[in-house]
Amino acid sequence: MADPAHRVNARELGGGALLDLGIYPISFAAHLFGTPETIQASTRFQAGGADAQVATIFQYADGLDPR
């Protein structure tokens, strides 16, 4: 979304890719597999400071790697 005033792009309003849509697959993975032992994440930010893209890798103590 190109509008910098839209809530998805406003960091102070909880905007960003992770809070807008990314929380759903994270919640699903946590429900299926439990709490990961480690999480690796990287992000790309928009000019206004909200995240535009987030990538995560969850690693589990039992070796489960749901990639």
Evaluate if residue 1 carries a pLDDT over 60. no
pLDDT at 55: 92
What's the chain's average pLDDT? 85
Q: Are 58 and 33 a contacting pair, CB within 8 Å?
A: yes
Evaluate if residue 2 carries a pLDDT over 80. no
One-letter amino acid of 21? L
- Model-level pTM? 0.69
Q: Are 52 and 45 a contacting pair, CB within 8 Å?
A: yes
- The predicted model gives 15-36 an average pLDDT of 88
Evaluate if residue 36 carries a pLDDT over 60. yes
Tokens read off for 66: 């749901």
Residue 43 buriedness (CB in 10 A; 0-12 / 13-18 / 19+): middle
Q: Where are the domains of the chain?
A: 7-59
pLDDT digits (tens, 9 = 90+) for 44-53: 988 888 888 8
Angstrom distance (rounded) from CA 16 to CA 65: 26
